[in-house]
C-alpha cells in the first residue's frame, strides 16, 4: 500500500453526548471540524469524506476539498456512520477506510498512515487500530483512558476502561521501558469496506454496552482487531469543555 491507497472518513455528528455542538465551536476563526478536515487533507489519502447528519456541519466544511455524505441521525457509533457511507459509495471489499473522529484536530498524519498500512501488512485482518505504552500509573486507573491488552500475535484480547492487566503485587510508583504490559488505546481505526458492510448485521454486545466501547462488538463476535504500537501518541481529542479550551489555547495561547 502506498500512502494514498486508502480513504479517510470523518464521522461528524452535532449531538455529541458530553459537549453537543462542539464540532462547530470556533478555534482561531474556524470551526473545530475544519481543523480536523485540514489534518485529514495533510495525510494525502485518496479521498477525504465528512459523514454528518447536520447541515450546519456540512456548510462549515463546504469550502474545503472534501466530499460530504449526509447520513442518518440515529447511528450509535462512528463505525455505524462509516457503514452507511460504505453502502452509499458501494466500495469494493478490500478498500481500506480510516475512521478519523471529527474531534481529533491534532491527529498526526503519520499515525493515520500507520493505521491504514496495518491492513496492508496483515492481509487477513479487517480491523486495525493503534496503542501506545503507558508510563504514568495514574493513567492506568483513569476510566477515561481506554486500555488494551494484546496477544503475542498483536491482536487485541480486550479493551477496557478498567486497569488491565491488574498488577497483583501492587502498582509501581513509576513505569519505564521495562514495564510493557500497559497500553493506552488510540481511537483511530482502519477497516476493510467488506467488514463495514457486515457491521450493521452484528448485534451490539453486552460488553460494548457496559464499557461504552464500540470495538468490543467486534471482539464479542469473534472478529480480531490488529493493534499497531507507536511511541509518539497524539494529543487528546476534544470530549469536554476543558478539552476544548486546552486545544483552543494551542492556536491562541492568549
Residue of 128, 139, 235 whose CA lies nearest to 188: 128
| CA separation for the pair 193, 91 (Å, rounded) | 6
Q: Is 247 helix (H, G, I), strand (E, B) or coil?
A: helix
All structural domains of the chain: 7-232+239-251 (3.90.550.10)
| Alpha-carbon torsion angle 158, 163, 164, 166, nearest 10 | -150
Q: What is the pLDDT of residue 4?
A: 57
pLDDT digit of tens for each residue in the chain (254 aa)? 444 589 999 999 887 766 778 899 898 889 999 999 999 999 999 999 999 999 999 999 998 989 999 998 888 888 999 999 999 999 999 999 999 999 999 999 999 999 999 998 999 999 999 999 998 888 888 998 999 999 999 999 999 999 999 888 777 667 766 667 899 999 999 999 999 999 999 999 999 999 999 999 999 999 999 999 999 888 877 877 888 888 888 877 65
- Asked whether 66 and 37 are in contact (CB, 8 A), the reply is yes
Q: What is the pLDDT of residues 25-68, one digit of tens each?
A: 898 889 999 999 999 999 999 999 999 999 999 999 998 989 99
Amino acid at each position: 500500500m502506498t500512502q494514498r491507497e486508502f480513504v479517510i472518513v470523518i464521522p461528524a455528528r452535532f449531538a455529541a453526548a458530553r459537549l453537543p455542538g462542539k464540532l462547530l465551536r470556533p478555534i482561531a476563526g474556524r470551526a473545530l471540524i475544519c481543523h480536523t478536515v485540514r489534518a485529514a487533507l495533510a495525510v494525502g489519502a485518496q479521498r477525504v469524506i465528512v459523514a454528518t447528519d447536520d447541515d450546519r456541519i456540512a456548510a462549515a466544511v463546504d469550502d474545503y476539498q472534501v466530499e460530504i455524505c449526509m447520513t442518518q441521525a440515529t447511528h450509535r457509533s462512528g463505525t455505524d456512520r462509516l457503514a452507511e457511507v460504505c453502502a452509499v459509495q458501494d466500495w469494493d471489499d478490500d478498500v481500506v477506510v480510516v475512521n478519523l473522529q471529527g474531534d481529533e484536530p491534532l491527529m498526526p498524519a503519520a499515525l493515520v498512515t500507520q493505521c491504514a498500512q496495518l491492513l496492508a501488512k496483515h492481509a487477513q485482518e479487517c480491523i486495525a487500530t493503534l496503542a501506545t505504552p503507558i508510563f504514568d500509573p495514574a493513567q492506568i486507573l483513569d476510566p477515561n483512558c481506554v486500555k488494551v491488552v494484546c496477544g503475542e500475535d498483536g491482536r487485541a484480547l480486550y479493551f477496557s476502561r478498567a486497569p488491565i492487566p491488574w498488577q497483583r503485587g501492587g502498582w509501581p510508583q513509576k513505569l519505564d521501558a521495562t514495564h510493557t504490559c500497559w497500553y493506552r488505546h488510540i481511537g483511530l481505526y482502519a477497516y476493510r469496506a467488506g467488514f463495514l458492510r457486515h457491521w450493521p448485521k452484528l448485534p451490539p454486545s453486552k460488553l460494548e454496552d457496559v464499557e461504552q466501547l464500540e470495538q468490543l462488538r467486534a471482539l464479542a463476535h469473534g472478529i480480531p482487531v490488529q493493534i499497531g504500537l507507536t511511541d509518539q501518541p497524539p494529543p487528546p481529542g476534544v470530549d469536554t469543555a476543558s478539552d476544548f479550551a486546552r486545544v483552543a489555547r494551542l492556536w491562541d495561547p492568549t
